[in-house]
Every structure is written in structure tokens, then in C-alpha cells.
């Protein structure tokens, strides 16, 4: 039997719709959530991601503004703009589209975003809160993966969850979130020998690598839930995940497609975080 498809596109639409009442409540208090996006250079993928975020804002009633800079912008100029956005009461969330050009220090730039407006959850304060299990902004992709798992009714407590990829924006925070749900978590990476043997034991297998078709049917435990975070552009222009969808579909119990899986959830969770940042700005208690 073929795996059940976990539809991220429709779940993302319903997550965005649930934000409407919060946005209406904010409007009644004269507040419209605002998101500022920083975009440096001409990376085509970055332009697409920023455009998708702006479209989601528009559809949800969040005000968005784009701060685009040439490739060679000086770091001091970028930090100056961030300081102004931090102080702007109309801006509740700030995202810095990654990757930044090499001459810019990403850590310094991300550290310059106010933790209260860090709706991407990349600031050390928010990542530290996640590590401690305290409230804070959780990065959109891992938060979106957790929502997908919850929506699909995938049990986590006591289950083996294996993440392939150890990035600070996906793999590591996702491991913490899965641990909070009592999964037994394994992180694999580029130096992991015999990925297939480890992956084969996973009840939940999550790929966040950036290599098309890395995960093949032989690596998947029959009935496992497979979440594909990867976004890869194939030579013919099509998008593909890290999972060999057609072959894995015959083995897995459930699976997310690319596109239409994790990607839309990442954007939806950014909207959730931006609305929450607006609520925090008017003193709504932290949950």
C-alpha cells in the first residue's frame, strides 16, 4: 500500500486561517502585525522565498515591508538598518533572508535583531530558550515539522526519530522539539557512517540535507513517517526533496511531498510568530 500523503499546503492554509481571530483582536486595539524582511543580493532562491513570505503576509492581513540591499552592502549599514527596525513600533517581526554574502558575518547580523522581533527564532536568546524548554520564538521549519507530525497523528513518545542534517536552523532545533515530545532522537550528518542502517530503525525519519534523492526506499523502515525538508532544484528546473518520493512512498506509512509539504508550513509558522510578536508588543502574556 502506498504511504499516506501529509498535505502541508492545506495544513498551512488552515494554520494561517486560525491567525485571523488573533489579527482581528489586535486590530481592535489599533495594532496591525508588521514583518520586515531583509534581502541582500540577487540569489534567485532567496528572492522566491522572500516573495512567498510577502504573499502569505498579504493573504493573512500582516503588513510586510521589504528592505533589499545590493550584494556589496557594508555590514555597518545593514546593522544600522536593523537598529532602526528594532526601534520601529510598526515592525513586530524581522527576518534576515539567509544565506548572506560571505563578507557579512551572519552571526553578528542575526545577533543584531531584537530577540522580541526575532520571528525566525535564530537569535541565540531564542535558541537558548528552546534548549531550556522555555517560551521563545521557535524557528519556522522545525515548528512546522512538529505541526505536520501532530496533524498526521504520528505518535512521538518513546519512538525513534532520526534527523538527517544538523543545521542550526533545522536539524538541531528539531531534535530539541522532538526530545520535548519524548522521542528518542538521533541526528545523522555528513560524517555519519552507514546512514542506511541508522535510518532503517527510525519510526520517524526527517531529511534536511539538500541532496536530491539521498533517502531511498532501502533506508526506510516499513510504515515509518518520512518528512522531507529538502528543497533541491533539478537540472530540468523542477523542485525535488531529499527523499526519493516515488520509491519511498511504497515503503513508508506516511510522507510529505516536495513541493507542498514542509515549505508552506515554514511560511505559516512565520506568520504565527509575527502575530505573536505583535501580541507581545502590547503586553499579551507569554504562553
Dihedral angle at the C-alpha atoms of 202, 205, 211, 213, nearest 10 degrees?
Answer: 80
Least distance between ligand NAD and beta carbon 72 (Å): 24
244/279 with CB nearer ligand NAD: 244
Question: How many CB atoms are closer than 10 A to CB 63?
Answer: 16
148/154 with CB nearer ligand NAD: 148
* Catalytic site residue from 117, 118, 120, 221: 120
Least distance between ligand NAD and beta carbon 266 (Å): 3
In this structure, are residues 232 and 214 in contact, taking their beta carbons and an 8 Å threshold? no
Is residue 201 among the annotated active site residues?
no
- Following DSSP, what letter does each residue of 40-66 receive, concatenated? ES--HHHHHHHHHHHHHHHHHT-EEEE
Is residue 120 among the annotated active site residues?
yes
Query: What is the distance between the alpha carbons of residues 244 and 260, in angstroms, rounded to a whole number?
Result: 15
Strands of the 63-69 sheet, one edge to the other: 63-69, 34-40, 93-96
* Catalytic site residue from 97, 117, 159, 203: 97
H-assigned helices in 29-153:
44-60, 75-87, 106-111, 124-132, 140-151
136/171 with CB nearer ligand NAD: 171
Least distance between ligand NAD and beta carbon 45 (Å): 8
Least distance between ligand NAD and beta carbon 209 (Å): 4
Least distance between ligand NAD and beta carbon 142 (Å): 9
C-alpha cell at 240: 525535488
Query: What is the distance between the alpha carbons of residues 35 and 225, in angstroms, rounded to a whole number?
Result: 33
Is residue 182 among the annotated active site residues?
no
Binding interface with ligand NAD (CB under 6 A): 141, 164-167, 169-171, 188-190, 192, 195, 208-211, 214, 229-232, 262-263, 266
* Catalytic site residue from 19, 53, 172, 242: 53
26/152 with CB nearer ligand NAD: 152
Q: Which residues are catalytic?
A: 53, 97, 120
Amino acid at each position: 500500500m502506498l504511504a499516506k500523503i501529509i498535505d502541508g499546503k492545506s495544513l498551512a492554509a488552515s494554520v494561517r486561517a486560525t491567525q485571523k481571530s488573533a489579527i482581528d483582536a489586535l486590530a481592535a486595539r489599533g495594532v496591525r502585525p508588521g514583518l520586515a524582511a531583509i534581502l541582500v543580493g540577487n540569489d534567485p532562491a532567496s528572492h522566491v522565498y522572500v516573495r512567498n513570505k510577502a504573499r502569505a503576509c498579504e493573504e493573512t492581513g500582516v503588513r510586510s515591508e521589504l528592505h533589499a540591499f545590493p550584494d556589496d552592502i557594508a555590514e555597518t549599514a545593514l546593522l544600522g538598518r536593523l537598529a532602526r527596525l528594532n526601534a520601529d513600533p510598526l515592525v513586530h517581526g524581522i527576518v534576515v533572508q539567509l544565506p548572506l554574502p560571505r563578507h557579512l558575518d551572519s552571526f553578528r547580523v542575526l545577533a543584531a535583531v531584537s530577540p522580541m522581533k526575532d520571528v525566525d527564532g535564530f537569535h541565540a536568546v531564542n535558541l537558548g530558550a528552546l534548549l531550556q524548554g522555555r517560551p521563545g520564538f521557535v524557528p519556522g521549519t522545525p515548528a512546522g515539522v512538529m505541526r505536520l507530525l501532530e496533524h498526521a497523528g504520528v505518535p512521538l513518545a518513546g519512538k525513534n526519530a532520526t534527523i538527517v542534517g544538523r543545521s542550526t536552523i533545522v536539524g538541531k532545533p528539531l531534535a530539541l522539539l522532538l526530545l520535548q515530545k519524548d522521542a528518542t532522537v538521533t541526528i545523522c550528518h555528513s560524517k555519519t557512517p552507514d546512514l542506511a542502517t541508522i535510518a532503517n530503525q527510525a519510526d520517524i525519519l526527517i531529511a534536511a540535507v539538500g541532496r536530491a534523492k539521498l533517502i531511498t526506499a532501502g533506508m526506510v523502515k516499513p510504515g515509518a513517517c518520512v518528512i522531507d525538508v529538502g528543497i533541491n532544484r533539478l537540472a530540468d528546473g523542477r523542485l525535488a526533496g531529499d527523499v526519493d518520493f516515488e520509491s519511498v512512498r511504497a515503503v513508508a506509512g506516511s510522507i510529505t511531498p516536495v513541493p507542498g509539504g514542509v515549505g508552506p508550513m515554514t511560511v505559516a509558522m512565520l506568520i504565527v510568530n509575527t502575530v505573536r510578536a505583535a501580541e507581545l508588543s502590547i503586553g499579551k502574556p507569554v504562553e
